[in-house]
Structure 1
Amino acid sequence: MQKEYSGKPVFSGIAIGKISIYHKKESVVKREKIDDAEAEIKRYHAASDEAKKQLGELHDKALKEVGEANAAVFEVHQMMLDDLDYQESVENIIRTQGVNAEFAVATTGDNFSEMFANMDDEYMRGRAADVKDISNRVVGILNGAGAGGFTATEPSILVADDLAPSETVQLDKSLVLSFVTKGGSTNSHTAILARTMNIPALIGVDFNEEGLEGRLGIVDGYEGKFIIDPDEDVLTSYKEKKAEEDEKRRLLQELKGKPNITKDGHEINVYANIGSVKDIADVLTNDAGGIGLFRSEFLYLGCDDYPSEEDQFRAYKTVAENMAGKKVIIRTLDIGADKQVDYFHLDHEDNPAMGFRAIRICLKRPEIFKTQLRALYRASFYGNISIMFPMIISVDEVRKIKEIIKEVKAELDEEKLPYKDCELGIMVETPAAVWMSEELAKEVDFFSIGTNDLTQYTLACDRQNAKLEDFADSHHPAVLREIEYTIKNGHKGGAWVGICGELGADTSLTETFLRMGVDELSVSPSRVLAVRDAIRNTDLSVGQ
C-alpha cells in the first residue's frame, strides 16, 4: 500500500528506485575494568593515530570529488583529535577510573558534545556533531566495529537518520539516486553534496525505516514528497515527469556555446562561483563565461598557518591561466562568522555574523591583507583578474583599501615584479552598502550583490540557524527592493552590477533581475545552463 511522507527539499528533481537504508556501524560501548592504565592509554593513542590516517585519506578523496570547501571538515576533525583537552580527558578517565579506552573515548565524546551543544554561539554548537563523529570513529577502531554504511549494489534512494561528512564522502556516488534524511538542514553536508551531485534530496522526513529496505520509492524534490510503494498511476505519472526532466537536461546541454541573450536582444553575463582551483573543471564543463566569485578564504581554511604569498600566487595564477582571458573575480578573504580558522586567534563573539570578520580583519591586520593583495596583483599579469572586497559598509573603507593597494603596487614596482591593473569591486551584502550604493559606485568598478548575507542582515535571521529557515525568505519584498535600488544606484554611479548569492540561480527570479537591469549573474557551475535557458526564454519587450 502506498505511503507518503513530506520533508523539506534541499535540491529539486525526481528520483525513482529501490530504497537502501544507511546503517550506522555497530559500536556498542561497554564499561570494563582494566589493570594496566598505561597500556590502555597507548592503545587509545594508536587508535587515534589510525583515525587521523583515515581522516587524511577521506580528505584527499573529498578534495577530488566535492572540492576543497567540503573537504576542509576532515582537517578540522584531525585537529580535534589532537586537542590537548580532549586527549587529557580520555587519559584521565582511563587512569582515575581504571576503565577501557572505548568507554573513556565515548564518555569524553558525550561530555564535549554536550558542552558544545549548550554554547550560545551557533558555529560552536555545530561542532557538537563533529566531536561525536570523531569519537565514534576512534571507538569503532578500538572495538573493531563491523561494517555498516550504504550496501546497495544498484543505483538507489539512500535513506538515513542523518549523515556525517565522513559518511557522505565514503559513498559510491554512482549508486546514489537521492538522499532522504530525518535530520539535517539546508546547510548540512548532505544538502551541499546533493547540490554538488545534482540529485534530489529531502531533509526532515519523519519516516519509519522498518521494512523499507529494497522497496520501491519516489523522491519528489520539487514538492518535498517521499513516496513508498507508489500506486501504479502515481508511478506512471512520475515516470513521465522524470522523462520530461531528463529531456530538459539533455536540451540544456545543447545550450553550450550559445549566448546568454533574451528574445528581444538583451545580453547578460553568466559566471560561476567556485571555492577552489579544482572547481575550474566544472566551470569549463558547464560553459560559464567567467568566474564571478572565487572564495579565496578556502586557501586559508585548508592550512595550519597563514598561506604564503607564493602559495596564494600559484593558486590565483592557475585560475587566471586556465580561464584563458575570461574574467576571474577573486573575493579577498572572508574569514569569521561561520568560517573560523584557529591560527587567526579570533576572540569568541556572541554574535560572530555581525562581528570581526572579512574586510574588518583585513583593515585591522594589514600585513595579512597586503600578502593576499601582492599575490593577487602578481597573478593578474597572467589573466583577467578582478578583485572584490566583502562586508563593505562605507566609502571610507574603500578609500583605505585603495591606499593599501597603492602601497602594494609601489612595492611591486620597486621589486620589478610585473602586474596589471585590476577592476575593483565590492560585495553588497549589508543594508548599509545598499543605502550608500550611489556613493560607493563612484569609488569602484563593479558591485556583486551577496544575497545570502543581505537576506540575513535585512531580515535579522541568522542564516546558520535551521529554526529560522521559514522566516529567512530571500524573496521578501524588502530584499528584492534592496537589489533593485542597488542596481539602479550602481549604474548611476558608473559601476556594473552582478548578483553572486544563491538567489542568482533562482530561475523564478531571472526575468525579475533582468528587468531590474542586472548585468551579471554568478551561480554554482551546475546552474549555469539552467540560468542561460531562462534568459533565452525571456522577452523584456513584453509588458513594457
Structure 2
Amino acid sequence: MALRTRRGTSAPTRSAHCPHTRRPPVLSEHHNRVPQTTTRLTGQPTSGGVAIGRAVHLWPTPPAPPPPPVPVRAVDESARLKTAAAATAAVVRELREQTRARLGEAKAEIFDVQLALLADPEFLDRVHELIRTRAIAASAALREVTQAFTEELSATEDERFAARAADLRDLAERLETALACDATPAPEEFDGDVIIVAPELTPSQTAQLDLAHVRGFITELGSAHSHAAILARGLGLPAVMRVPQATTIIPRDTTLCLDGTTGEILLSPSLEQISACRKQLAHQSKARIGCARHPHRPSQTADGRPLPLGANVGRLEDITGAMARGAEHIGLFRSELSYLGRNCPPGEEELSTLYGAMLARAAPHAVTIRTLDLGGDKQVEALTPVHEANPFLGVRGVRLCLQQEVVFRAQLRALWRASVRGRLKIMLPMVTVVAEVRTVRKWLAEERAGLVSRGEPVARDLPLGIMIETPAAALTADALAREVDFFSIGTNDLTQYTMAADRLNGQLAHLQAAHHPAVLQLIQRAVEAAHRHGKRVSVCGEMGSHALGLPVLDGLGVDEISMPPDLIPEARARLARLDHAANVRLARECVGLGSAEQVAAAVAATSA
C-alpha cells in the first residue's frame, strides 16, 4: 500500500532474477475542475495548526496480481516468507532509527508495533500454516491472513485497536514488497507547498514526509489515536482525518486552507481567507519559537490569570516527554490500558510498582490516576459484560468497578501503596450518583486501614475526584461537589451524551462539537457548583487543546486543563495571547447562543 501521486511517479525497480512482477500504480485520467467559489469541509481534528497549500492526491498502489496458478512447494514458499520477514524487519528497524533521530524515542516506539507483529507467532505462523495446508504462494497466504486480521481489528468499537489495522496494512505492504523482490519505495518528492489528500496514510509514509514541502494532510480514514496521527503531532504537521470522499470532493491542485485544530478545510479560499490563514501561520510560527525558548514557563493569560496545563498519558514512558514539553502536572493517566490485551487483570504488586514509578518520574508534579475505565468502547473479555445492547449506556466506568469488587479493591490498594512516592490524586470515571462516590470512599478507607495494620507505609489522605461526563453529573454537581475534592470534565463523553451522538459515528460528526451551547451550559453549571464548595475544576477532554475551546473554558472559570503532551507548547503560547476579562465576556455570550456554528463565529470574531 505504498502511496503514489496522481502525477505518475514510476514504479520501483525489480531484481532481474525475481520470479514475480508487480503492476505500476494506477494513474487517474480524471481531471477535476478547480471550483471557482469557496467550499468548506469538516473532519476530525487530528493534529493542530493551520496550513496553506496545493492539493496533491495520493493513492494506494494496487496489489500485485496473484501469481500464476502453478503448483508451489510449501517448503520453498515458507523459506521465501522467512527471508522477506528478515528483510522487512531490517527496513522497519532502519525507519525506527530515522524516526528516533528526527522525533525522539517515544515516537520511534510506534514502529515497535510492526516489529512485534513480525515476532508474533499468531500472525506469521498462520501464514506459514496456510502455505503448508493449501500449498499456496506466500503472497496469497499473506493477503488472506492480513485481511482476516485487519477486518477483526477494524470491527472493534475501540478506536485505538481499530487504528492498529493501519499498522498491519503498512507491515503487510512491506512484506509483499520483499516477497516480490521490489525495491523499497522512496518517499514522495513534491514541488512547492502541498497538502496531501489520501484515503489513508500509514505510519511509514507519515514518518518519511518531506517537511520542506508537505504542509499538512487530509485523509478519508484514520483517527486521532492512529500512529499516523501521533507522528503528525510530533512533526508539527496539521492534519484532519475522517473526511468522507475527500479524494473525490477535493480536486487536485486546488488551493487549500487547512485547520487541524478545528477540523475545517477551505477549498479555493478567498483572498481575505488566505490572508487570515497566513496571519494564523505567523502567530503559529512565533509561538513555536517562543515555546522552544521557554518550555517551562507558567501557563497564564496575557492579563495574568494562571491556567496550568497538564498532560494526558497512558504509559510510564509518556511522562518524560510530557515534562519536556512543559506539562505542569499529569491531568489524566489512563489506568485501564494496563488491563487491555491480556487474559487476566494485572495484580496489586504490578500496579503498585507502575504507579510508584509514575509518581517518582513526575515529581514534584501531581499525577491524577483515573481508576479502571472499561466498558463502552473498551472491552475486556474477563471483566466487561457480554452482549450488552448498548455498551455506552451499560456497565462502564465506576459502575463496572463496583461490580468487579475484587479487581477494583486490588487497584485501590496499589494506589495507596504507591502514594508515598509522590503527589497522587485519584479520579473516578463515569460517576452519575452520589452513592457511587460514597461506596468508593468507604472501600478506600477500608483498604488503607488494612495496609496500615500490616505496617505498610501509605499517605495520610488522597484527594478523590470524579469525572463529569454525563448531563446527570453536571446537573447534580452541587450534591457531588460536597462529596469529592475536585472535578475533571471529560468533554468527549459529555458531548456524546448531551447531543445523543455516538462519537465513533462519523455520520454524526456535525453533532459532536464540544463547543455547542448545550455542552457549554453544563460545563458552566459544573464549574459554578464546584467553586461554591471551594473545589477546583479541570478539563481533560479534547476541547481544552482546541483554539475554539481554550478561550471559552478560561472564560467559564476552569482551573486547569490537560491534553496530549504534543499540544501543550502551542496551547501555552495561545493562552498567553488571550485576555481573561475578554474571555469571560465571550463565554457569557457563547452559552446563550443557539448553535456550535454561532459559537465558532463568536470566538473567531474575538481573535480576528
TM-score range, shorter chain: 0.7 to 0.9
Specify the SS of the correspondent of 1:470.
Answer: helix
Q: How big is each residue's C-alpha offset from its partner over 1:483-535, in whole Å with a ceiling of 9 and x where there is no partner? A: 11112222344532221111122343444334433222223332341353155
Match for residue 532 of structure 1? 575
Tell me the residue number matched to 2:598.
none
3-state SS in 2 of match to 1:277: coil
- Corresponding position of 1:224: 265
- 1:95 corresponds in structure 2 to 133
Give the structure 2 partner of residue 276 of structure 1: 315
CA distance, structure 2, for counterparts of residue 237 and residue 336 of structure 1: 43
1:402 equivalent in structure 2? 441
Write out per-residue CA displacement over residues 256-305 of structure 1, whole angstroms, 9 at most, x where no aligned residue. Answer: 56554556665443333223333333433343332211222333448676
8 Å CA contact 1:200, 1:219 repeated in 2: no
Does residue 1:502 correspond to 2:542, yes or no? Answer: yes
Alignment of 1:134-173 (within 5 A): 135-148=172-185, 150-152=187-189, 157=194, 159=196, 161-163=198-200, 165-167=202-204, 170-171=207-208
- Match for residue 524 of structure 2? 484
Report the AA paired with residue 28 of structure 1.
A
Please, which of 141, 148, 156 is the counterpart of residue 104 of structure 1? Answer: 141
- SS of aligned partner of 1:347: coil
Higher alpha-carbon deviation: 196-205 or 5-14:
5-14
1:428: how far off?
1.0
Q: Which amino acid aligns with 1:91?
A: E
The one-letter code matched in structure 2 to 1:287 is G
1:44–1:101 contact (8 Å) kept in structure 2:
yes
Q: Structure 1 CA distance, aligned partners of 2:426 and 2:34?
A: 52
1:520 and 2:560 aligned: yes
* Residue identity in the other structure for 1:448: S
Does the aligned pair in 1 maintain the 2:302–2:575 contact within 8 Å? no
Distance 1:197 1:395, change over 3 A: farther
Moved more, 482-491 or 124-133: 124-133
2:71 is the counterpart of 1:28: no
Inter-partner Cα distance in structure 1 for 2:108 and 2:432: 27
Residue 458 of structure 1 pairs with residue 498 of structure 2: yes
Contact kept, 8 Å, 1:27 with 1:143, in 2: the verdict is no
Aligned match of 2:401: 362
Q: CA RMSD in A?
A: 4.7
Is 1:416 aligned with 2:455? yes
Q: Cα distance 1:152–1:312, how it changes in 2: closer, same or farther (>3 A)? A: farther
Amino acid at match of 1:433: A
Q: Is the Cα–Cα contact under 8 Å of residues 431 and 467 in structure 2 kept in the other structure?
A: yes
Describe the shift of the 1:492–1:280 C-alpha distance in structure 2 as closer, same or farther (beyond 3 A): same
Aligned to 2:236: 198
Aligned to 2:606: none
Structure 1 unaligned blocks of 5 or more: none
Cα distance between partner residues in 1 of 2:393 and 2:209: 39
Is 1:426 the equivalent of 2:466?
yes
Distance change (3 Å), C-alpha of 1:155 and 1:434: same
Q: Shift of the alpha carbon at 1:451?
A: 0.2
For residues 339-373 of structure 1, what are the alpha-carbon distances to aligned partners after superposition, in whole Å with 9 as ceiling and x for unaligned? 44567576355533334433333222233323332
TM-superposition CA deviations, 1:41-90 (whole Å, max 9, x none):
56557766877898799889989858499949927983996448x96687
The offset of 1:416, in angstroms, is 2.0
Matches within 5 A, 1:74-473: 74=113, 78=117, 82-83=121-122, 91-92=129-130, 95-96=133-134, 98-110=135-147, 113=150, 132-133=169-170, 135-148=172-185, 150-152=187-189, 157=194, 159=196, 161-163=198-200, 165-167=202-204, 170-171=207-208, 177-187=214-224, 189=226, 190-203=228-241, 204=243, 206-207=246-247, 220-221=258-259, 224-225=265-266, 242-251=281-290, 259-261=298-300, 266-301=305-340, 306-341=345-380, 347=386, 349-420=388-459, 421-473=461-513
1:541–1:35 Cα change, 3 Å = closer
Moved more, 241-250 or 341-350: 341-350
CA contact 1:26–1:146 (8 Å) conserved in 2: no
The more displaced of 521-530 and 10-19 is 10-19
- Which range moves more in the overlay, 450-459 or 230-239? 230-239
Calculate the TM-score normalised by the size of structure 2.
0.72
Task: Tell me whether 1:13 sits opposite 2:54 in the alignment.
Answer: no
Tell me the number of residue pairs that the alignment of Structure 1 and Structure 2 aligns. 537
Q: Displacement of 1:226 after TM fit?
A: 6.5
1:70/1:389 Cα in 2 relative to 1: closer, same or farther (>3 Å)? farther
| C-alpha distance in structure 2 between counterparts of 1:373 and 1:539, whole Å | 43
> What letter is aligned with 2:328?
G
C-alpha contact (below 8 Å) 1:7/1:202 kept by paired residues: no
- Indicate how the Cα distance of structure 1 residues 200 and 367 shifts in structure 2: closer, same or farther if over 3 A, else same: same
Q: Secondary structure at the match of 2:421?
A: coil
- Cα distance in 1 for residues equivalent to 2:231 and 2:439: 39
TM-aligned CA deviation for residue 387 of structure 1:
0.8
The equivalent of 2:28 in structure 1 is none
| CA shift for structure 1 position 106 | 1.7
Q: 1:429 offset after TM fit, Å?
A: 0.7
In structure 1, distance between residues paired with 2:157 and 2:281: 42
Question: Structure 2 CA distance, aligned partners of 1:155 and 1:417?
Answer: 64
Give the AA of the match of 2:524. E
Which residue in 1 is equivalent to 2:599?
A: none
1:73–1:450 Cα change, 3 Å: farther
Alignment partners' CA distance in 2, 1:425 and 1:70: 32
Q: Are the counterparts in 2 of residues 388 and 425 from structure 1 also a CA contact under 8 Å? A: yes
For residues 530 and 327 of structure 2, the distance between their equivalents in structure 1, rounded to whole angstroms, comes to 24
* Contact 2:477–2:530 (CA under 8 A) maintained in structure 1: yes
Instruction: State the 1:161 CA deviation.
Output: 2.4
How far residue 447 of structure 1 moved from its aligned partner, in angstroms, is 0.8
